[in-house]
Amino acid sequence: MCVLTRRSLREDAGAANVARLAQRAVDRYELELSNHFEIEEQILFPAIETALGKLPLVDSLIAEHREMEGLIEQLRCAPSEVLLERLCGLLAEHIRREEKELFEMAQSRLPEPILRQLGIVIEQKAVRICL
């Protein structure tokens, strides 16, 4: 979503395109990201912290979820190129932090049976959308 949004903004930063891209971001949030955040906050993060203890990284990732939710709400009401860029930057960085920091830590420090069980539970809760 971020790559396509940024590419489209470079080609056309007009109000109509910005509104269309903002609606696409809102739709993607409603269809996929809200479920993703819920799974992380209700299943993944608690399991990691139960096994490894309280992690400032988890608090930071949750704060980023709230910030992205706030950006989505702003995009609903007043779409702008600045908000879209901010959302895309935050989301891209958030994904990198999860993959390079949190997931690496979890995979290296959590026992295989816990990881396997987490995978099963997450798969059951994940909403899969093919757009």
Q: Is 84 helix (H, G, I), strand (E, B) or coil?
A: helix
Asked whether the predicted pLDDT for residue 129 surpasses 90, the reply is no
Whether residue 127 has pLDDT greater than 90: no
Contacts of 41 (CB under 8 A, 6+ apart): 62, 65
Q: What is the mean pLDDT of the chain?
A: 95
Q: What is the pLDDT of residue 128?
A: 78
pLDDT band at 97 (very low <50, low <70, confident <90, very high): very high
Taking only the tens place, the pLDDT of each residue in 38-90 is 999 999 999 999 999 999 999 999 999 999 999 999 999 999 999 999 999 99
User: Please, which pLDDT band fits residue 130 given cuts at 50, 70 and 90?
Assistant: low
What angle, 0 to 180 degrees and rounded to 10, lies between the N-to-C axes of helices 45-52 and 112-125?
A: 160
Mean pLDDT of 1-28: 97
